[in-house]
Structure 1
Amino acid sequence: MKQLTSHEGLHCANCGASMQGEFCHECGQSIHSVLKPMHHMLEETVETVLHIDGRIVHTLPPLLLKPGFLTLEYFAGRRVRYIAPFRLMFVLCLLSFFVFHLAVDQFTGKMPANGQPLVSVDSRAIEAASSPAEVRKALQDELDGLQSARDTGLLPPNVLEQTHTAARELRRKANQRLVALDAAPMSAASLAAPPVAATENVTGDTKPRDALPKATEGESKPVQIAWLPDLVNARLTALGQQMHRNWRAVKHGDPAASAEAKQRMINGVFGVLPPTMFVMIPIFAVLLKLFYVFRRRLYMEHLIVALHSHAFMFLSLLLITVVGMLSTWLRPHAAWTGYVLGWIQALLMLWVPTYLLIMQKHVYHQGWPMTLLKFWFIGWCYFWLLMFALMVAAALGMAH
């Protein structure tokens, strides 16, 4: 049991008021000093972390499984045991986009999946060839596969170098097989040279990449909108020029520069997405206010609904992404896990609109016909607003 402590005769160090508890009733300052031994600070840190963990346990399960429960609890004044709506949405937004970014990097080839190399070659066909013609055909098939990987422009520089090393190794093994078949081996020059010429000249053009027409080298035209300030026009012009340079690097640059530009744009898009969603949340609350104007609810109540709705969507995005990454990692080792996790992903996707519909019904207490009608109209309006916001975010990301 916590001991009762008398504060008689103690005064606040900040405002001088008589203390009646651990916190001053005038200015709110604590009676405890911040100058403490290190072990006391560690104790308070552990207590704070455990307290937050307790609120997570009370918050995340109902957020995922009980539509509208957290919102109604907040309206009823039972708030201490749950994470605050904005903090909950903020953390889940950053975490979900971070994990989704990792998944996109894995998909585009920046990160290896399950620790396996991004570039792998199979020399068994070369070693099993029974004639020089079969050796050369098997070698050409493997080299064509490596060339296709380079032409995607998605390989980072270190992986691009791996393709050249793999090509030299294939030529070496093909040479060994030709010698074993008593055929003339390939020349030393073709054995050591990486297949750069094919990468730089896949269309038969004898001009190097740097000799592209000047039309592709030019900058985008300056933006001049009469009703906008010059500062805004200058900013739009700079964004357009950077977008043009990134796009030019993707389309006409060498594979390394193309991969770098693509990764730069992806990073830019994911850097803009969280602020974009923060703007969309109050807009969604405005839609709720308009469609439920006769319910006589304050805008702040609609904003709480919007915060919890988006927190749920970010949590769902996080779970769907994690399940998808697990499926990618486990499918090569146990194919049945891929089907199970695929069904879990599908159920999570179906649960998102179902959850939002049930939440709208529980919070606003209208009949199902009116709830369905308003849910459809709100969803339709919000979908197109979200698409517009995502297009703006994509444009800003491409100009990163």
Structure 2
Amino acid sequence: MSASTEARAAASDGHGHDGHPSHCENCQAELHGHYCHACGQSVHNPVRNLGHALEEVFESFWHLDGRVFRTLRDLLSPGKVAREYLAGRRVRYIPPLRLFVIVSVVTFFVAQFAIHVESNTHFDIDTAQRTTVRLGNVKKQMRAAESVAEVEELRARIVGELRTAAAAAPVARDTIEASIVSVERQADKRIEALRALQGLDAQQVAEQRAEGERLAAKPREGSLEAAANLAELERLRDARIAAVQAQRDAASAQTRQSSDYAGLIRQANHAAGCRAAELQVAHAGRSEGAELRAADRQRYGEVECDDDDGPLSFNGRPWDPKTNPLKVEWWPQFANDWLNRQVGKGEANFQRASKDPALYIHALIGAIPSALFLMVPIFALLLKIAYVGSGRGYLEHLVVALYSHIYLCLALLAMFVLMLLGDAIAPHWAGFVWLKGLGIGLLWTWMPIYLLLMEKRVYGNGWPLTLLRYTLIGCAYFFLLSLATAALMTAAIVRM
């Protein structure tokens, strides 16, 4: 076959001698290179060649050519990339929005592995949380005490439990010791108030304190905590509930409406349930002859008894979707029903997260990227307001905001990498812990300085005016970022 015949055959087939099409497969224009001059489509067909398919993925999403390294290198110089991009020299850099998406996704993907709650084989989180005192609850108990003996008994019981917990969980000793100091301070304040209120002298105070310590050495007679078995516990709970019901039945209609008898019954049931779980856990431990796993303890019930009313309260009473719902007056009923369903989910997930701090950490990590995406246009708006009259449009400020957040994400990524390296290297070389801390500290210190220098170089104002604008923008930005993160974290906990 002659050369001219081959050429005609190739043309009729649509392909040249090198196997590439001679005409664009999209618009049929004659090709004179690797890209169509009419529509810009590449000569390579990704569905016919695996190498071209992978190349297109990286080219379209990552743009892993020389520009990524040039962009990352120039980002180390505050303001250089933003200045060059705004000056029209854009071809050498990756577009800021694309780079921001990639860097933020990578950063917070790595964060999921780098940030975690440390555990210890001799320390169980559930056990520690059962013995850690919630200071708000302690204050309430101290204020309710009506005698020095009662305060001293309460102090002795709580401090004794905390010291037992500190001995069993050395890793939590500092936190528990801080709780002990707070308990001691609350007890001393209440004793001083009772001494002045009741006109007690030093001898009387000492006698009552000794009586309180004696009472603390054994469970209160008739209390649910003193029940030695489930049968006795059931009898004591029924007696307490019967007493509350008798008070309710004997009360006037006005007193019955203003008093929370249902709450008192709920507290009795809750305390009995916690004590029943303690008895079952103790029995299982004795019968199995081994320390129970956290999952096994949870099957026997909840043993944390220091939050009688739960974390949510409205109108001075615990939240309840039927008897005491959260209600927005100007919302329709279906919207309020939806709101209370979300509150219920949030309450349940909050209880889960209180027992597993890792859930809080992951919810926070999950909320920050969304908050940053939300804050980029807001940060650009703050720049627009602060630099009104500069002649720059909103989109130019948006470029500065994007490159600022890209650098922040890169700095956070470097911190997370140092954390991962610390986990891997520190067990073999203790000195790396110091190096990791130094590196993270320097990164935190450099971030605000970097942003200040970037603002100075991009906008070109004098130092006094730049510092003033930088301070105002920074305060407004971090306030709004905190609100956005808290709102998104709350939403994440509800969806957990």
Per the alignment, residue 327 of structure 2 pairs with: 224
* Residue type of the alignment partner of 2:96: P
Match status 1:280 vs 2:372: no
CA shift in 2, pair 1:199/1:68, >3 Å: closer
Per the alignment, residue 394 of structure 2 pairs with: 299
Alignment of 1:1-400 (within 5 A): 12-15=24-27, 22-38=34-50, 41=53, 52-63=64-75, 65-105=76-116, 107-109=117-119, 118-119=120-121, 145=168, 192-196=288-292, 209=302, 219=320, 222-228=325-331, 233-250=336-353, 258-259=355-356, 262-399=357-494, 400=496
* Residue type of the alignment partner of 2:344: Q
User: Can you list the C-alpha shifts for 1:19-47, whole angstroms capped at 9, x where unaligned?
Assistant: 56554455444455445244554676788
Of 302-311 and 80-89, more deviation after overlay is shown by: 80-89
User: Can you list the C-alpha shifts for 1:112-165, whole angstroms capped at 9, x where unaligned?
Assistant: xxxxxx4169xxxxxxxxxxxxxxxxxxx999637998xx9xxxxxxxxxxxxx
* Residue type of the alignment partner of 1:347: L
CA drift of 1:376 comes to 0.6
CA shift in 2, pair 1:314/1:197, >3 Å: closer
User: Can you list the C-alpha shifts for 1:345-396, whole angstroms capped at 9, x where unaligned?
Assistant: 2211111011000000000010011001100111011111111111112211
* Residue type of the alignment partner of 1:243: G
**Which structure has the greater CA radius of gyration?**
2
CA shift in 2, pair 1:50/1:269, >3 Å: closer
* Residue type of the alignment partner of 1:384: F
- 2: distance between equivalents of 1:49 and 1:306? 21
Q: What SS is found at the alignment partner of 1:295? A: coil
Contact 2:44-2:52 within 8 A present in 1 as well: no
- 2: distance between equivalents of 1:307 and 1:226? 41
CA drift of 1:79 comes to 2.3
The number of residue pairs the alignment matches comes to: 316
* Residue type of the alignment partner of 2:390: R
* Residue type of the alignment partner of 1:242: K
CA shift in 2, pair 1:145/1:191, >3 Å: farther
What TM-score does the superposition give when structure 1 sets the normalisation length? Answer: 0.65
- 2: distance between equivalents of 1:60 and 1:310? 13
User: Can you list the C-alpha shifts for 1:40-76, whole angstroms capped at 9, x where unaligned?
Assistant: 546767888996153232122221x200011012112
Contact 1:268-1:396 within 8 A present in 2 as well: no
- 2: distance between equivalents of 1:44 and 1:72? 30
CA drift of 1:327 comes to 3.4
* Residue type of the alignment partner of 1:368: W
CA shift in 2, pair 1:46/1:276, >3 Å: closer
- 2: distance between equivalents of 1:24 and 1:93? 34
- 2: distance between equivalents of 1:26 and 1:229? 57
* Residue type of the alignment partner of 2:347: H
- 2: distance between equivalents of 1:278 and 1:49? 18
CA shift in 2, pair 1:70/1:232, >3 Å: farther
Q: What SS is found at the alignment partner of 2:395? A: helix
CA drift of 1:271 comes to 2.7
Residue identity (%): 35
Of 52-61 and 300-309, more deviation after overlay is shown by: 52-61
User: Can you list the C-alpha shifts for 1:237-283, whole angstroms capped at 9, x where unaligned?
Assistant: 332111101223455xxxxxx33xx4445433333322221111100
* Residue type of the alignment partner of 1:85: P
| Structure 1: segments with no counterpart, 5+ residues | 110-117, 122-140, 153-188, 202-206, 252-257
* Residue type of the alignment partner of 2:73: P
Of 332-341 and 344-353, more deviation after overlay is shown by: 332-341
* Residue type of the alignment partner of 1:334: W
User: Can you list the C-alpha shifts for 1:84-115, whole angstroms capped at 9, x where unaligned?
Assistant: 2112211221222222232322x344xxxxxx
* Residue type of the alignment partner of 1:396: A
Contact 2:45-2:52 within 8 A present in 1 as well: no
- 1: distance between equivalents of 2:431 and 2:308? 54
- 2: distance between equivalents of 1:22 and 1:199? 62
CA drift of 1:319 comes to 1.1
Contact 1:58-1:81 within 8 A present in 2 as well: yes
CA shift in 2, pair 1:343/1:55, >3 Å: same
* Residue type of the alignment partner of 1:145: A
| Structure 2: segments with no counterpart, 5+ residues | 1-16, 124-163, 176-284, 311-317
- 2: distance between equivalents of 1:99 and 1:79? 29
- 2: distance between equivalents of 1:29 and 1:94? 29
Contact 1:200-1:208 within 8 A present in 2 as well: no
